Structure 1
Amino acid sequence: MPPSSYESPLHTDMGGFNDTTVTEFLLLGLSAHAEQEVVLCGLFLGLYLVTLSGNLLIILAISCDPRLHTPMYFFLANLSSVDICFSSVTVPKMLVSHVVGSKSISYVQCMTQTYFFLTFANMDGFLLSVMAYDRYVAICQPLHYTMIMRPKLCVLLVAISWVTVNLHALLHTLLMVRLNFCSSNTVYHFFCDLYAVLKLSCSDTFINNLMAFTEGGLIFLTPFTCIVVSYVCTFSKVLKFSSAQGIRKALSTCGSHLTVVSLFYEAILGVYMHPSSSYSVHDRVASVIFTVATPLVNPFIYSLRNSDMRAALRKLLFRSQD
Structure 2
Amino acid sequence: MTQRIRKAVFPVAGLGTRFLPATKTVPKEMLPIVDRPLIQYAVDEAVEAGCDTLIFVTNRYKHAVADYFDKAYELEQKLEKAGKHELLEVVRNVIPAGVRAVFVTQTEALGLGHAVLCARPVVGDEPFAVLLPDDLIWNRGPGALAQMVDLAQATGSSVIATQVVPKEQTSSYGIVATSEFQDRAGRITAIVEKPSPEEAPSNLAVVGRYVLSPRIFPLLEATAPGRGGEIQLTDAISALLAEDEVLAYRFQGTRFDCGTHIGLIEATIRHALDHELLSEAAQGFMRDALSELGVLDVQ
TM-score by length of 2: 0.24
Q: Which has the higher contact order (CA 8 A, sep 6+)?
A: 1
Query: In proportion to residue count, which structure has more strand?
Result: 2
